[in-house]
């Protein structure tokens, strides 16, 4: 049968780099991994709570974590940082405090930086959040998918594939619908492909959204 693989893990070392950079002894590895997950969840929850906009898009493209002996450096790549940093310093300090409380790290300093990305809708996470918001507002799924594809085309990507699975439009039988525009060469390791999977809780069940975006070829 088909061996499907996550496009990001498949390209590690060629066009894709790790989102977490640290070294741990084998016995501490699992703790560090869970710590990373806690940091990511904490930041996402904070952003969700403090968003000033009604469009449901958090706008976090990815969160990179670098750990040293005495420092945890977290870089949050956001599409719309304005929503979070109106009064810039105060907000980031508050976020740092909440993450530190979650981790209760005594002997390590935590440093959070926020970076803006140029084309927010060229990133699958932000696009998935956009589609999720549309589906929650009962927009028809085809309309939402087409709109998402329009937005990525404006961001100047070479190809995109969007897939929605589950009880689409509240139908009794779950199905998978997908749509592709341009080229999406998943087999080519040289091709830089951005991917994300995202779960949406709608009133009639959970829908899964998967997005592949072909950025460019090296």
Q: Is residue 30 part of a domain?
A: yes
Count CB-CB contacts under 10 A for residue 138: 10
pLDDT > 90 fraction of the chain, expressed in percent and rounded? 51
Predicted confidence at residue 94, as pLDDT, reads 83
Mean pLDDT value of segment 160-179? 93
* Domain total of the chain: 2
Predicted confidence at residue 178, as pLDDT, reads 94
Give the domain-ending residue among 84, 116, 148. 116
- Whichever domain contains 153, its CATH number is 3.30.1140.32
Do 66 and 124 belong together in one domain? no
Q: Is the pLDDT of residue 34 over 80?
A: yes
Domain of residue 52: give its range: 17-116
Predicted confidence at residue 160, as pLDDT, reads 94
Do 130 and 213 belong together in one domain? yes
**Cα–Cα distance, 115 to 201 (Å, whole number):** 29
Q: Is the pLDDT of residue 6 over 80?
A: yes
Predicted confidence at residue 88, as pLDDT, reads 57
Tell me the per-residue pLDDT of 52-66, one tens digit each, with 9 for 90 and over.
Answer: 554 566 788 899 999
Do 110 and 21 belong together in one domain? yes
């Amino acid at each position: 049968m088909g061996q499907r693989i996550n496009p990001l893990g498949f390209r590690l070392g060629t066009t894709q780099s790790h989102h977490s950079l640290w070294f741990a002894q084998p016995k501490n590895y699992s703790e560090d991994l869970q710590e990373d997950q806690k940091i990511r969840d904490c930041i996402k929850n904070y952003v969700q709570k403090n968003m000033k906009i009604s469009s449901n898009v958090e706008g976090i493209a990815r969160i990179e974590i670098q750990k040293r002996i005495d420092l945890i450096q977290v870089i949050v790549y956001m599409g719309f940082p304005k929503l979070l940093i109106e009064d810039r310093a105060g907000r980031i300090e508050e976020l740092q405090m909440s993450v530190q409380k979650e981790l209760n790290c005594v002997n390590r300093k935590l440093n959070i930086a926020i970076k803006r990305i140029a084309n927010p809708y060229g990133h699958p996470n932000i696009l998935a959040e956009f589609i999720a918001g549309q589906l929650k507002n009962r927009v028809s799924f085809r309309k939402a998918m087409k709109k998402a594809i329009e937005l990525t085309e404006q961001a100047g990507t070479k190809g995109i594939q969007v897939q929605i699975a589950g009880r689409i439009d509240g139908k009794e039988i779950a199905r998978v619908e997908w749509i592709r525009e341009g080229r999406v060469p998943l087999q080519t390791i040289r091709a830089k492909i951005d991917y994300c999977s995202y779960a949406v809780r709608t009133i009639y069940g959970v829908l899964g959204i998967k997005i592949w975006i072909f950025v460019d070829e090296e």
